[in-house]
Structure formats: structure tokens, C-alpha cells
Amino acid sequence: VRAGILASVPGAQGGFRLARPPARITLMDVVAAVEGPDEAFRCTEIRQRGAGAEAPAREFAHPCGVAAAMRRAELAWRRELAAQTVADLMDAAPANAPDRARRHYERLRG
């Protein structure tokens, strides 16, 4: 609800519904609402501890290969999720999906 994805419906038959059309809610919106906006990988700069602690600061001006690779993977993952919407998932549901699941999606649409 705080992320603007769901709206609360009060009352005995209340619950939640989508706050926006399914085509305007990306999977990245959902992930950010559940997991938060922070990146999945957090570099702790282990290069600057232990044997690397005595290296000059200029050696740490750029991220290490692991951090750079993780950043590229994170960006690709986020782009892919941002390119897919809840409507895409609904459209991709198999025609023989249980009626209960289809009714649930329709109820979320509002």
C-alpha cells in the first residue's frame, strides 16, 4: 500500500486491490516494495583489510572486478524486471489456469 501498488478496501468484504492498472505496475515496482530499494550486493571492500590494508588509497579508487560484475548483473536484473508488468504475467497465464487463480487476478484489477 505504501508503495502505491495496492489499495486497501475497508469493510467485511474488504481486502486489497491493485492501486494502478496492471499494465502500470512493473515487477521491479513489486520487488522494490517488498525488498526495498537497496541493491542486492553490498561491497564491503575486503581489499582494504588484511594484506591489502597497507596499499595506497589510489588502488581502491575503482571497484574491484567482483563489485563491477555484481553491479552489471544487478542492473541487468533490474532492467528485466522493469520491462515486465503485472499485466504481462496475467496475459501469460495459461488458458487452463484454475478458475480460482483467474478470478483472483480479476478481483485484484478492481
The alpha carbon of residue 1 and the mean position of all alpha carbons in its chain are separated, in whole angstroms, by 15
How far is Cα 53 from Cα 59, in angstroms, rounded to an integer?
Answer: 11
pLDDT of residue 102 exceeding 70, the answer is no
pLDDT cut 90: percent of the chain above it? 39
Q: What's the pLDDT score for residue 101? A: 67
pLDDT for 90: 83
Segment 25-34, tens digit of pLDDT = 999 999 999 9
Burial of 25 (0-12, 13-18, 19+ CB in 10 A): buried
CA end-to-end distance (rounded Å), the chain: 15
- The residues spanned by each domain of the chain are 22-109
| Model pLDDT for residues 45-88, shown as the tens digit of each residue | 777 777 777 888 787 778 888 889 999 999 999 999 999 999 99
Residues 74 and 14: their CA atoms lie apart, in Å, by 37
Using alpha carbons, list the distances in angstroms from residue 41 to 35, 37, 44, 53, 67. Answer: 13, 12, 9, 22, 8
Which band of pLDDT confidence, cut at 50, 70 and 90, is reported for residue 110?
low
pTM reported for the whole predicted model: 0.71
- State residue 72's pLDDT score: 95
Residue 28 is placed in which grid cell?
521491479
- CA–CA separation, 10 and 88 (whole Å): 28
